[in-house]
Amino acid sequence: MTSDAPVTETLIADNRKARHDYHLLESFEAGIVLLGTEVKAIREGRVNLRDSFGRLEDGEVYLHNVHISPYSHRGYATHEPMRRRKLLLHKREIRKLIGKVVERGMTLVPTRMYFSRGLVKVTVSLAKGKRTHDKRETVRRREADREARAAMKEQR
């Protein structure tokens, strides 16, 4: 039952702060274990990935500090907004992450959350923290590129 229809991805949340604070080295797509009210709240766009991180615990990967606000039309069923959530990765990917996170001192940072074929997916990146001077260099380079584009635009 394979279809040749293109896979549509609808962006839910983007962690732009991660690109500012970390050097993103390698990315992995993962499923995430959610409750029903969490999925409904995500469909409303009530997600915040800022300050969230992944952690390896007992051979499994969990996301911490992902804030999913309560669903607006909830009844008696609700969820804790900041609970840890399990990521669904292949065993070989988890082994690879364990090697790099434990040995090299890297961190796991969620960069995007999106719908793919109706399922919630998270892109988790292996990241190395930037130092203050690295951040300044990135800003300086971005401003130089912006000025160069403006100068090219004026010449036309």
Q: Per residue in 80-113, pLDDT tens?
A: 889 999 999 999 999 999 888 887 778 899 999 9
pLDDT given for residue 77 in this prediction: 74
**In which region does residue 155 sit, left (phi positive, over 0), alpha (psi from -120 to 50) or beta (all else)?**
alpha
For residue 44, count other CB atoms closer than 10 A to its CB.
13
For the question of whether the overall pTM of this predicted structure is more than 0.85, the answer is no
Q: Which residue has the higher pLDDT, 61 or 6?
A: 61
pLDDT given for residue 89 in this prediction: 95
| CATH class, 9-130 region | mainly beta
66, with CB counted inside 10 A (0-12, 13-18, 19+), is buried
Please state, in angstroms and as integers, the Cα–Cα distance from residue 91 to each residue in 102, 108, 125, following that order: 16, 16, 17
Mean pLDDT, the chain, rounded, equals 87
Q: Is the pLDDT of residue 32 over 60?
A: yes
For residue 139, count other CB atoms closer than 10 A to its CB.
11
